[in-house]
A = this chain, B = another copy of it.
Amino acid sequence: MCGIVGIVDAGGVSFPLYYALYALQHRGQESAGISTFEGTTLYTHKAQGLVAEVFNSQTLQDLRGNAGIGHVRYPTTGSKVPENVQPFNFRYRGLDLSIAHNGNLVNTVELREEYERRGQIFCTTTDTEIIGNIIADALRTSKSMEDAVLLCMRRLRGSYATVALLNNTVYAFRDPLGIKPLCIGKLDNGYIVASESVAIDALDGTFVRDVRPGELVRIDESGLTSVQVATANRRAYCIFEYIYFARADSVMDGTLVYDVRRRIGQKLYDARPIEADAVCPVPDSGIAYAAGYAKQSGIPFLEGLMKNRYMGRTFIMPTQQQRERAVRIKLNTVRGNLKDKRVVLIDDSIVRGTTSRRIVNMIRDAGAEEIHLRVGSPPIIAPCYLGVDMPTRTELIASGKEVEAVRRSVGATSLTYIPLEDLVEAIGCGERNLCTGCLTGCYPVEINGEKSCHCVVDYVAGTHQSDLSTFRAGKEET
């Protein structure tokens, strides 16, 4: 999981990129970086840490120019190495190319081998470096970035929402299935592309539309143009973006995430109506679900858990011994809202089950009579190969286990997952247009040893066309 952003703006881009990355901070807290370009120089500043820690006034002022890209990164297991911090730069025959990427390729091994056979030496083990290499390599023979991206997209298999900075121009492209989100906004003096629309909101920009799956967008000082590089017979939006990752105030591929979660909450009640005294969300993502459940059921929305907002990087977590005495420092129960009550507890998902078990225990200790756990996603039974940092099958509590067994394990009075069809309906674009790999074990791209759903992609050598005329705020012209 990562967040990406690209901006071209006549008034300078480093501060807008900073605020946009800050709006995307929930997509990655491990590292942050910005590249900008002015004159003949590519400027890059990146390091491990939160956006507010990595940059200061001086470093932002040093990032000169009116075009740039930025990145925040989530720590995937075992990869806390400084060399993975993005954007990643490529120097090639006088070209300075900087790339930032959100997603995961599934044919990395073949691509690396092919390029290594041809002599390419890599600096990192990241997909980003492979993408950058293919593009830079293609730029040798092709005349344009458009052709290079076309060549590149033909080779990549997996998910990739990517921004690239080449001299004064920002390019952005999205895989043919649109697995990872990317959208376009208009600023007073330029354009922005970003993983989520909240980055556009932060800059008081106007949401234009999502980048289409398979589309390459180009932004320079003369405006925005676009070319459809690939078309597919379906889409495969990551279902987990709607369930957990995206901010609730983001509009993603035409749908407000908050709406999706609220509708899931409603359907969770309809799927198994019960009587209860309070609907309690697990903070923070559970609140939208609980709002929907409360509305549908008429059971009052009531917080039973309170999160401490001041947890920082330097906070000293209690040792095992201290933990016996310091247990509710991060998440406290509101005893008065739970005691002797029949509680509907709403969470977005259950992955390993450890957190759910701990929370159910806390709520029972606070005196709740019944705890009905309602979950905003179906059981997660398979790993994700396309960009979500999921554990292996054996660590997934629901993998190969009946719902009743999960219920016993987490200790709830009753447990209901949202049925997949209800979830799909809540999102609204049809199962055919969603990636449900982690819920069904069937993936929209071919993955070694896994089942794959058929999808056909056509790659088109198109010409770049300005469709500025079609960019009317809020209008999705599909």
Hey, which bits of chain A sit against chain B, CB under 8 A? 11, 15-16, 18-19, 22-23, 25-26, 29, 43-47, 50-53, 55-57, 60, 81-83, 85, 88-93, 113, 116, 118-125, 129, 132-133, 136-137, 140, 187-188, 198, 201-205, 247-249, 251, 256, 258-259, 262, 284, 287-288, 291, 294-295, 298, 300-303, 306, 308-312, 314-316, 318, 322, 324-329, 332-337
Question: A326 vs B302: C-alpha distance in the bound complex, in angstroms?
Answer: 34
Q: How far is the CA of A46 from the CA of B333 in the complex (A)?
A: 30
Q: A19 vs B318: C-alpha distance in the bound complex, in angstroms? A: 9
A-B complex: 5 closest residue pairs judged by Cβ atoms = A256-B336, A121-B136, A52-B315, A295-B300, A19-B326
Bound Cα distance from A301 to B295, whole angstroms: 7
Would A294 and B301 be within 8 Å (CB), given that A89-B83, A119-B120 are in contact? yes
Across the interface, do A47 and B82 meet the contact criterion of CB distance under 8 Å? yes
Does the CB pair B91–A122 fall under 8 Å?
yes
Minimum distance in angstroms from A67 CB to a CB of chain B: 16
- Is the CB–CB distance between B258 and A314 below 8 Å? no
Task: Specify how many copies of this chain sit in the oligomer.
Answer: 4
Further contacts, 13 of them, CB under 8 A, given A16-B322, A22-B308: A19-B329, A26-B309, A52-B310, A53-B312, A89-B124, A92-B122, A205-B325, A249-B333, A251-B335, A256-B336, A256-B337, A258-B337, A291-B301
Tell me, rounded to whole Å, the shortest Cβ–Cβ distance linking A205 to chain B. 8
Do residues B60 and A316 form an inter-chain contact, with CB atoms below 8 A?
yes
Q: Which residues of the partner chain B approach A301 to less than 8 Å between Cβ atoms?
A: 291, 294-295, 301
**A119-B140 in contact given A50-B310, A316-B55 (Cβ < 8 Å):** yes
Check if A119 sits within 8 Å of B121, measured CB to CB: no
CB-CB < 8 A to A288: which residues of B? Answer: 303
How far apart are A424's CB and chain B's nearest CB, in angstroms? Answer: 19
The reply to whether B332 and A303 form a contact with Cβ atoms under 8 Å apart is no
Residues of B contacting A47 in the complex (Cβ-Cβ under 8 angstroms): 47, 82
Given contacts A83-B44, A316-B56, contact A310 B25 (CB under 8 A): yes
Chain B: minimal CB distance from A337 (Å)? 6
Which of B93, B202, B312 meets A326, CB within 8 Å?
B202
Report A167 CB to chain B, min CB distance, Å.
16
Q: Are A52 and B258 in contact (CB under 8 A)?
A: no
Whether A23 contacts B204 by the Cβ 8 Å rule is no
Task: Say yes or no: B256 contacts A334, CB within 8 Å.
Answer: yes
Taking CB atoms, residues of chain B closer than 8 Å to A136 are 121
Contact A312 B50 (CB under 8 A): yes
Q: What is the CB-to-nearest-CB distance from A242 to chain B, in angstroms, rounded to a whole number?
A: 13
Chain B residues with CB below 8 A from A316, complex form: 15, 18, 52, 55-57, 60
